[in-house]
Amino acid sequence: MSLKGNACIGQSGGPSIVINASLVGAVQAAEKSELVDQFFGAANGVSGVMNEKMFDLFREDDEVLKAMRYTPSAALGTCRIKVTEADVARCMEVFKAHNIRYFFYNGGNDSQLTCHQISELAKQSDWDMRVVGIPKTIDNDLVVTDNCPGFASAARYAAAAVQFAARDAMAFGQAEIVEVMGRHAGWLTGATAVGRKEDWMAPHLVYLPEVKVDPDKFLADCEACYKQYGYLVVAVSEGFTFAESQLATTSDKVDEFGHARLGGVAEALGKMVEEAIGTRVRTDKLGNLQRCFAYCMSDVDNEQAYAAGYAAVEKALAGETDIMTTIVRNSDDPYEWEIGTTSLMSVADQTKLVPAEWINADQNGVTEEFIRYVAPLLGKTPPQVPMDIPAYPVFQRHMVEPKLEKYQRAK
Amino acid sequence: MSLKGNACIGQSGGPSIVINASLVGAVQAAEKSELVDQFFGAANGVSGVMNEKMFDLFREDDEVLKAMRYTPSAALGTCRIKVTEADVARCMEVFKAHNIRYFFYNGGNDSQLTCHQISELAKQSDWDMRVVGIPKTIDNDLVVTDNCPGFASAARYAAAAVQFAARDAMAFGQAEIVEVMGRHAGWLTGATAVGRKEDWMAPHLVYLPEVKVDPDKFLADCEACYKQYGYLVVAVSEGFTFAESQLATTSDKVDEFGHARLGGVAEALGKMVEEAIGTRVRTDKLGNLQRCFAYCMSDVDNEQAYAAGYAAVEKALAGETDIMTTIVRNSDDPYEWEIGTTSLMSVADQTKLVPAEWINADQNGVTEEFIRYVAPLLGKTPPQVPMDIPAYPVFQRHMVEPKLEKYQRAK
């Protein structure tokens, strides 16, 4: 069962605050084994594999690797690519040319599908290879796993930001709408409710993308809260939609997957609320900072991301393949967890929405169960996070010598 | 010289991360004196004075007061009011009715002007009273003082955010434009340059509102940096303007002073840059979080804010009036400072812009002198700042009994 050769790891999709913790976990697990000769980091995910842009992570400085565990955003570079059959075939050629026997891919459900496709083709082409996915997405929408590394730190940013912005709104006795990432799944937006310990505290209203909002009730709820508490804080998902009609906030631009770029929801709602309740409404779109604001790193999240990467390598070395590592929750309070695994097919292309029973009856908040789920994940900033204006390291990138013809992707 | 009676303090204008440190400093200085009977906090600045909405800060819980020092945004409530002569006269009536002999006002240059007007009217009406301003503005645009409490913590947020967002842009090999507060003065935007220790680091380009930007050079500079470094990070002030024409980013709404509400500069520039250099450009508007994101509180800033409030009371008790407390810089490295004073007239209605010689020759960055000025202010997060999802305290607000007829402001 012991398989000797090279390994390769890639990072995919939107970066997160702890994605590099998974990378460092994987490298440090591989360093302990005799089976891995070289451990290639693919520059910009599968795009780096296809183009043979890879560098040996074992040659990177140990101190840099240690610091990278606490550095936000994909240090290997990332990509958003919908891989074709030809792309997967090309990857296989590259794996063979560089004797890559282990492939690890850190990403969301699209990336786990890519992983599975590679695993399948390896089997078909008799290339003895082990493929393990590592979960990552700030949206927290992968099934099976308790949560997705990257989510908790982003949630901590969003939840803290809402409390800070709330004080600003209180100081003026005005209203504030905070726009949170999450196109389809409301995990991040819902997490902002953790800070509401008393009724008067923010956020007073929370709208997940799972809910189609009634415009009249929305404005009535805003007005009622504003009157009752003397200020108003509303958290809305970027995927906020009204029941009847969509808010005219999608831009004409589309992302790499053909999804319309969202945003501007808070601003559009702000204008409506301002007219309806007659107080100034400030709006803040949390934007990209949600996934990179490292002061908000959760120690729980970092630990889980590291463990998910570390275990991925251990499992692969032990002979497992076509799986993704998962977080398994054993208890809520105290929060206890361990690493598990699931088949790639069980998670690929699936989306875990917030269950309807975790959304309150008024459809403008979350239940106690939601809070019980999310609260223990938020943790605190690990002491290793640089709290000055950080000068983060970069990898030296000793690139491999390409062995194949250049690859031209079909359009 | 010793004057016995009540005191009153108000917070004015945009809140900051450390404005409550000045408040707590003032209260703790007053507690040590026999001269102050009651220390009123005016709810929402002069508006609270005019409407007799004031509460005795000496009756607030000591633990709450201690926690308030590390709580962002004006705990008394704030206001943006352009006071009229009638308003000042009304304030004087209230001061007399409640035997207020000391007035402290914490704000920017508008607020210092209000202070001076009150001081003048007190003299004219033979009301023995001492009026001391306490500096505050995240824009850092008050003259005389080395810096303005509130600025350094906001600068730390902006500078850190740029480093975090830079890693996100690097991960994609794309571009990022960060929009920073500062309508006329570029102190905050310039402060983001502190993080650029090497040429390849962010922010590559920094545009202050003091500079009228040439559109062709702007795009050429963006393209050159992107080509050279493989990613691009640009920091722009919300007051960014082109030399020939203004960017069409002012909204049709105006604020309480009749200033157009700004914003959307990054988004407008992002579209231009995206077209010009052909890579995706992400944009983040730092927004209100700059002035309330307490994880980024600077210990230097908190210390100075506290000292400026504390000294304001000490000076007033010692007989000084018609002054504002200031920060005096004695040396850059190590950074040494002390509290000074200046006349209210010397700061009222003045604006300190970034001096032309602190902007680089290419007009797209700041000089070493700017960095030497700003770097020591940024400090680190004080250990007292709650780094969980904070549940901040509120004052109990034992309100005074109004003694006058209701006040109707002239429209």
Residues paired with residue B283 on neighbouring β-strands, in sequence order: B177
Spatial distance between the Cα atoms of A124 and B156, rounded to a whole number of angstroms: 54
ipTM: 0.95
Residue B381 lies in a domain: no
The pLDDT profile of chain B, 411 residues, written as one tens digit per residue, is 689 999 999 999 999 999 999 999 999 999 999 999 999 999 999 999 999 999 999 999 999 999 999 999 999 999 999 999 999 999 999 999 999 999 999 999 999 999 999 999 999 999 999 999 999 999 999 999 999 999 999 999 999 999 999 999 999 999 999 999 998 999 999 999 999 999 999 999 999 999 999 999 999 999 999 999 999 999 999 999 998 765 545 444 544 444 454 558 999 999 999 999 999 999 999 999 999 999 999 999 999 999 999 999 999 999 999 999 999 999 999 999 999 999 999 999 899 999 999 999 999 999 999 999 999 999 999 999 999 999 999 999 999 999 999 999 987
Do B284 and B311 lie in one domain? The reply is: no
Residue B24 within a domain: yes
Q: Both A21 and A135 in a single domain?
A: yes
d(CA B402, CA B94): 9
Same domain (yes/no): B22, B111: yes
Q: Domain for residue B410, yes or no? A: no
Distance CA A339, CA A329 (A): 9
What the block records as the tokens of A208 is: 């997940």
Judged by CB atoms closer than 8 Å, whether chains meet at B161 and A195 is answered as no
Q: Residue B172 belongs to a domain with what CATH number?
A: 3.40.50.460
Of B11, B288, B380, the CB nearest to A388: B380
Q: Please indicate, yes or no, whether residues B128 and B159 belong to a single structural domain of this protein.
A: no
In the set B110, B139, B284, B301, the catalytic residue is: B139
CB A131 within 8 A of CB A122: yes
**Chain B residue whose CA is closest to A295:** B295
Alpha-carbon distances, residue B310 vs A285, B31, B378 (angstroms): 36, 11, 21
B253 and B274 in a single domain? The answer is: yes
Residues A305 and A279 in one domain: no
Q: Residue B44 and residue A173: Cβ atoms within 8 Å? A: yes
Contact A44 B165 (CB under 8 A): no
Total of domains in chain A = 2
Q: Quick one: A259 and A320 in the same domain?
A: no
pLDDT score of A3: 96
The model's pTM: 0.96
Asked if B282 and B303 sit in the same domain, the reply is no
Where residue B53 sits, what CATH number does that domain have?
Answer: 3.40.50.450
Q: A275-314 b/e with 16+ CB inside 10 Å = b?
A: ebbebbbbbbbbbbbbbbbbbbbbbbbbbbbbbbbbbbbb
The residue annotated as part of the active site, out of A139, A141, A221, A284, is: A139
Which of B350, B365, B383 represents a domain boundary (last residue)? Answer: B350
Strand order of the β-sheet with A5-11 is A54-56, A36-42, A5-11, A100-107, A130-135, A323-331, A336-343
**Is B391 part of any domain?**
no
How close is the nearest chain A Cα to the Cα of B311, in Å? 24
On the CB side of A286, how many CA atoms lie within 13 Å of its CA?
Answer: 30
CB contact under 8 A, A165 and B292: yes
Q: Is the pLDDT of residue A178 over 50?
A: yes
User: Is residue B257 included in any domain, yes or no?
Assistant: yes
DSSP-assigned letter for residue A359: B
Q: What is the pLDDT of residue A255?
A: 47
Residue A42 lies in a domain: yes
Same domain? For A53 and A86 the reply is: yes
Per-residue confidence (pLDDT) for residue A349, from 0 to 100 = 83
Nearest to B287 among A44, A284, A392 (CB): A284
Taking CA atoms, B94 is separated from A37, B2, B406, in Å, by 81, 22, 11
- B301 catalytically annotated: no
Q: Residue B236 in contact with residue B266, Cβ under 8 Å?
A: yes
DSSP-derived secondary structure for A220-264: HHHHHHHHHHSSEEEEEETT-EESSS--S---S-B-TTSPBP---
CB pairs under 8 A between A and B: 138
Q: What is the β-pairing status of strands A232-237 and A175-180? A: parallel
What distance in Å separates the CA atoms of residue A144 and residue A324, rounded to the nearest whole number? 10
pLDDT tens digits for range A39-51: 999 999 999 999 9
Point out the domain boundary residue: B249, B271, B294: B294
Name chain A contacts of B196, Cβ cutoff 8 Å: none
CB contact under 8 A, B201 and A167: no
Domain-terminating residue out of A293, A324, A342? A293
Nearest to B195 among A172, A195, A389 (CB): A389
In a domain, B366, yes or no: no
**What's the domain range around B343?**
5-137+296-350
Same domain? A25 vs A40: yes
- Of A355, A351, A354, A353, nearest to A109 by C-alpha is A351
Q: Across the interface, do B164 and A292 touch by the CB < 8 Å criterion?
A: yes
For residue B359, being part of any structural domain is answered with no
Say yes or no: B290 and B155 in one domain: yes
Q: B228 with B287, same domain?
A: yes
